Amino acid sequence: MADTQTANNTAAAAYKSHSPLVEALLRLHKNHTALAGLVIVAIFAILAIFGHWIAPHDPLEQSLYTKLKPPFWMPKAADGYLLGTDDFGRDLLSRIIYGARISMLVGVVSVSISLIIGTVSGAIAGFYKGWVDIVIMRIMDILLAIPSILLAIVIVAFLGPSLQNAMIAIGVVSIPRYARIVRGSVLEEYSKDYVQAARALGASDTRLIFMHILPNCLAPLIVQTTLGFASAILEAAALSFLGLGAQPPTPEWGAMLAGGRALILRAWWVVTFPGVMILLAVLGFNLLGDGLRDALDPRLRD
């Protein structure tokens, strides 16, 4: 009995001795919803990386002989086209797979823009306070006062319709989210003893911000970055649907929805499958982001 109690105490002590990162991973492993989101995100990542080998056809190859063929389980389906074809005879499955690559690229580029600029501006505002904080945060308040999709439309209209400009617009409209999170975290960390100790040892402002304070603000940034991917994919699809993002014949999910909206009664599969992919991608990143938020919350640590 004593040996069993000792073993339990040892196991508990071992668990307690884990680093915060390991503890967060253990909590994430127990969150089945977050794991489901991770699986969905991993599938899309695989499609994006290996889509060239996975796709059965060229996504831009057209054929009038296979125009608007239904999925394989329906009558009059064409062999070799599992999800059917669009009004140009292009393989819908191949276009959806290549669309995953574009959507993941949009997420990476736009989130990187907003993350870098938002983190730097928020850190400067929270560290220096005063008029610097007022100027930066009032700019962020102005950006937040405008609906994000409307601001993105204005930016793309000014720069010109293209996928690259859509990624820039999505990145710009998301900057305030990161700036506010980082500013709040920096304000909280600034008064702690380790910052004052580093300052007393002669650390420069740049070193204090980027080497001491920001590493302790990573948890909320990781969560926001994950959720930012979902927002970026959804906003890119919306811009492409409006004709301001990816231009035909680019196999982007929003552009595919726009191209097939006139066929919704004749060929439902042309708009249904791209819409389902957008839903799954956004759902996967949101589930993963919610799970990371629970796993990285220090209030949940034993």
Digits of tens for pLDDT over the chain (302 positions)? 445 555 455 544 444 445 565 666 677 777 788 899 999 999 999 999 999 999 999 999 998 888 999 999 888 888 889 999 999 999 999 999 999 999 999 999 999 999 999 999 999 999 998 999 999 999 999 999 999 999 999 999 999 999 999 999 999 999 999 999 999 999 988 888 888 888 888 888 888 888 889 988 888 899 999 999 999 999 999 999 999 999 989 999 999 999 998 888 889 999 999 999 999 999 999 999 988 887 776 555 55
The structure's pTM equals 0.86
Print the SS3 string covering the chain: CHHHHHHHHHHHHHHHCCCHHHHHHHHHHHCHHHHHHHHHHHHHHHHHHHHHHHCCCCCCCCCHHHCCCCCCCCCCCCCCCCCCECCCCCEHHHHHHHHHHHHHHHHHHHHHHHHHHHHHHHHHHHHHCHHHHHHHHHHHHHHHHCCHHHHHHHHHHHHCCCHHHHHHHHHHHCHHHHHHHHHHHHHHHHCCHHHHHHHHCCCCHHHHHHHHHHHHHHHHHHHHHHHHHHHHHHHHHHHHHCCCCCCCCCCCHHHHHHHHHHHCCCCCHHHHHHHHHHHHHHHHHHHHHHHHHHHHCHHHCC
Name the nearest CA neighbour of 189 among 128, 127, 132, 136. 127
Q: Look at residue 65 and tell me if it is in a domain.
A: no
Q: What b/e string do you get for 148-176 counting C-beta neighbours within 10 Å, with b at 16 or more?
A: bbebbbebbeeeebebebbbbbbbbbbbb
Q: Which two tokens stand for residue 155?
A: 């930016």
pLDDT in the model for residue 79:
84
d(CA 43, CA 251): 18
Name the nearest CA neighbour of 157 among 238, 92, 96, 239. 239
Q: Look at residue 194 and tell me if it is in a domain.
A: yes
pLDDT in the model for residue 1:
44
pLDDT in the model for residue 288:
92
Give the angle 120-123-125 at the CA atoms, nearest 5°.
110
d(CA 299, CA 60): 51
Q: Which two tokens stand for residue 219?
A: 């948890």
Structural domains of the chain, count? 1
Give the angle 90-40-235 at the CA atoms, nearest 5°.
65
Q: Look at residue 71 and tell me if it is in a domain.
A: no
pLDDT in the model for residue 139:
95
Taking only the tens place, the pLDDT of each residue in 31-70 is: 788 899 999 999 999 999 999 999 999 999 998 888 999 9
Q: Look at residue 66 and tell me if it is in a domain.
A: no
pLDDT in the model for residue 190:
86
CATH for 272 = 1.10.3720.10
d(CA 117, CA 111): 10
pLDDT in the model for residue 15:
46
The domain containing residue 143 runs over which residues? 43-60+96-300
Q: Look at residue 82 and tell me if it is in a domain.
A: no
Longest dimension (CA), the chain: 79
